[in-house]
Amino acid sequence: MAFHFLFLGNLPLAEGFGINTNIFETNIINLAAVVAIVVSFVGKNLSALLEDRKNTIVNNLQEASLRAAEAQERLNVAKNQLEIAKKKATEIREEGILRATQEINNCVSQHEERLSKLEEFKQETVQFYQQKAFKQAYMYVISRIMSRVKERLNKGLDATYHVVVNNFYVSRFTEYNP
C-alpha cells in the first residue's frame, strides 16, 4: 500500500481524480489491493478452515485407530474361540474314537459269547443225538439178543442148560449201565 501512495505523490495535484491510463501501474495497484483484502479477510477464514480440516483428520485418525483396536480385539477373541473350537473338536474326535473302540470291543465280546454259547449248544445237541443213537442201538441190540435167546430157548433146551443161559444173560444185563 505504501507503493500506492508513492504514485499519488508524483501525480500533479491540480489534475484531481481521473483515469490512469498506465495499465501496468493500474494492474499492480489492483493486484496489491486484492491481495491485501484477500489476506485480511480470507486469511483468518482459511486458517479456520485449515484448522477444522486438521481437527477432522485427527478425529478420523483417532476413530480409525479405535476401530483398528476394536477389530484387533475382535480378531483376538475370534482366534481364541477358534482355538477353543479346535480343542473341542479334538476332544469330540478322541471321544468318538474311544466310543467306537469300546463299541467294537463290546460287539466282539458279545460275538465271542454267542459263539461259545453256539458251540456249547452244538456239543449238547451232538451229545443228545449220540445218546439217542446209542440208546436206539442198545435197544436194537437188546431186542435182537432177546429174540435170539427166545429162539434158543424155544428150540428145546434142557432145564439145566436153560437155567444156566438165563442166569448168564440176567447177570450180563444187570452189569450193563447205559
Residue listed under C-alpha cell 435170539:
148
Gap between the Cα atoms of 134 and 126, Å rounded: 12
Gap between the Cα atoms of 28 and 20, Å rounded: 12
Structural domain including 130 reads 2-175
- Count of domains forming the chain: 1
Using one digit for the tens of pLDDT, what is the confidence trace for 62-110? 999 999 999 999 999 999 999 999 999 999 999 999 999 999 999 999 9
Q: Is 16 helix (H, G, I), strand (E, B) or coil?
A: coil
Q: Is 156 helix (H, G, I), strand (E, B) or coil?
A: coil
Pick from 27-31, 53-57, 137-141: least confident: 27-31
Q: Which three cell numbers stand for residue 68?
A: 483398528
Q: Would the pLDDT of 24 be above 90?
A: no
